[in-house]
Amino acid sequence: MLAKAAASLDVLSGGRFELGIGAGSFWDAVEAMGGPRRTPGESVTALAEAIAILRAFWSGDRSVRVEGEHYRVNGAKPGPQPAHPIGIWVGAYGPRMLALTGRLADGWLPSVGSHYADPRDVPAMQTRIDDAAKRAGRDPAAVRRVANAMGLSGEAGSWAGQLERVAELGFDTILVAVREDDPLGFIRRLGEDVAPALR
């Protein structure tokens, strides 16, 4: 269903849809919605299988068959084809998930901050993705790097420096959450003051 929904959204948006996924981690919520509670190892294996199914649904084949340990699809009809090759973006932090990202994903999308991907750990995380991509016969540059910058602090004059430190960790794009206290003013300051200084 996720593959079909993603393809439909991609068609409706004229090829502007990308899919962000992870291995779970919010197990109480997953279980509350009827999903299985998996061990960390099981969740990584299940995600690799899910990616294979998603790609098979978007391949243009008339029928999809994937036999996995956690997921099996036997002769499913894919439905609409995406308008463009949908990128699969993985939010990964642990060693096995970072390796999966290098092997299978189109992009890495971590949240950078002390409670998520600690900036001090990001260079080693980038290396793990690169090494896994190389072992899989992929160019590491094929895995885009986009960061969720968590919590810009202080006055607007300091934001460019904060974002520059995130960019220097090897990210080509930075997503910034809009502050709720003054969303329009925040967006205006980002566009008029911070972005030119950061460039």
Say how far apart CA 174 and CA 109 lie, in whole Å.
Answer: 9
Q: Tens of pLDDT along 97-140? A: 999 999 999 999 999 986 788 999 999 999 999 999 999 999 99
Is the Cβ–Cβ distance between 106 and 97 less than 8 Å? no
Q: Tens of pLDDT along 54-81? A: 999 999 999 999 999 999 999 999 988 9
Give the model's confidence band at 175: pLDDT under 50 very low, under 70 low, under 90 confident, else very high.
very high
CB-based contacts of 159, cutoff 8 Å, min separation 6: 152, 189, 190, 194
CB-based contacts of 176, cutoff 8 Å, min separation 6: 149, 152, 163, 190
Is 150 a residue whose pLDDT tops 80? no
User: What domains does the chain contain, in order, with CATH numbers?
Assistant: 1-86 (no CATH), 87-199 (3.40.50)
Average model confidence (pLDDT) for the chain? 93
Q: What is the pTM of this model?
A: 0.90
Is 151 a residue whose pLDDT tops 80? no
| Strand ranges for 31-83 from DSSP E | 64-67, 72-76
Q: Tens of pLDDT along 76-102? A: 999 889 999 999 999 999 999 999 999
